[in-house]
Structure 1
């Protein structure tokens, strides 16, 4: 009986030992023995991990599952059957993708009001659309589906002091929060530099109903920006006057940053705020020496690899024809230009201006801009390869006919670009939209 028990115990021990993988005896000696594989000894055995490493490439017959053999002659300039971009990149180059329209022009708003100044922002996988309801003098916010239809309710959001008219909402993100900068106008002082105010607000948009967390009004006063305001200025002008319409917001290094452009001069204003919207720093950024004392148009701030760039049009105030779009690299403290400015859209005797959205995704810079002809303009979408010196990948004129000077915006989500713009500037106004996709 005892012998039987001992035999059973021995069999159980053998089963347990054989069921547990034992470490190879010579792992690390450079030889992949029968008892070794890429899981228990990756130092010696790489075959089977799905990657054709240098050792396997030198002798592909050793590991055909990782290094499939080609039937053609790799390097002969012909992508034969059996060759692919992975096995023979010399012969098989993936064709460059093109940005193609997948949703043609359609109305995004309802057609019953004066809907202006569209803005788009992506937070996570959600697309938010902000705009100005001109007739009601308020801002509205709604989430969009991929086809530009509304997803849920339209919400009225903070638009400043009641007796002023809100304009030019500019959306940004701060982690999962949505925040924005905007201008309000006091009609009784519109012609002066005291009639325009800079404001900011932040919302929690994690639920169905956006919740206002913080706002700050009357941060700065700006001057009017109509043609008559420039030709026939009224009132007292401060030192380094600024325009607070189309303010450019960005969240950078844990701070809320807003840029307002110089009014007919090269000095820009950059303000930094903490999470409670306390002013941390007010920077006067003179772009004169970097730009040849040109004036900056409406612009956008974008973070490219941890560095902030201003993207906007540069022109001489006395030249209404030539204006080109540039990328202007800033120092880490945002107090100066650091490096050469980079031309993005530049054609002789043509006027390109009004960048109000810039996004950096997967090595590409996406911007919107306008080609101006007299008081008319055409909205454009531009894409640039940052890793190849900002080489142009696409310049797309979004709409066929010119419109009165107004606004557009765009946003990028995965392989799609969403582009919105005003229908025009008179009568009932809708926001129109198109969608483009890399194919």
Structure 2
């Protein structure tokens, strides 16, 4: 995560390239490359041992042209200003591509959550909201879970935000629940949120295979990362008949030429987050997984895993980005020099999570409740429309998937900008 300055620069470069294709003036382009604000606060928490410790908290708001700022809050020791700037920029593009009425934001606390108790993390969560409360709200900025945060942390933050409104006699208490998404279902969370990012990526894969007229049973897949996103993607792909030949986690990877039993692996990983090796399954490294001869490679773990140093060893013709920024700009340029190769960008492929967060927000504001099947149906429709919109831009302009996605996002942002100007 440290060193995500390159990612922020990359995002700026992609906006620049898409803007130049559209013939935008420098003045208009700067509007989309600039951040609206970066908020940096010190929070002090009393630990279980009685000592006080200071943490640095961030919230970056990139753009709200299309609606309230939207983006996760992460707890990680490497959270810094460059990281949240990059991720907030990507969120603006992602929500615009998805066609939902949000802008882009990102937040975090520089902390290693493994070193602190639940009670201490609760205090950090509450302190974060106390410092950021005047900058967030259901019509202003709507945070969600991200790396090392979850529904429990969103529950603590929602309660802290409600307390802030009550303490200061502020309006909006009736909609306080809608200030955060990714909450537990009992507290207004949405059905299907856990599966949403992986399922959304699977829907994109299905749309792509339909366009390419490829049969499911003929497609081999390798997935780097078997966390929430990668595991659900693998499960949906396996259930649909795709041959998932390799998956990995932080401990390493497993491979089976004839395909893995994802149903069994998924169930085991839910219990102990370990891969149990069966007959005909071999252990390989994460690096070896990236180099397997498969049809589709799914980086679903970390940013920057495919670089100019290893991209030439990638044998897959299709890379579907389920992680944020897994392929560097230099790597992408090298990869796409060969014909019939595609990279489906993160701003399209992994947007299922923020789309379902939008569904949660809508349900909260309307005091409504949708069953899981309805959420999945609406998600499928949104992902299909987004894919086809990007595909049309790509074919019309004879450009890459990523540039097509950025062009689509910029067109929507420009329309809003000019109407308000």
Q: TM-score range by the shorter chain?
A: under 0.3
Query: Rg larger in 1 or in 2?
Result: 1
TM-score, length-scaled by structure 2: 0.27
The answer to which structure has the higher helix fraction is: 2
TM-score, length-scaled by structure 1: 0.26
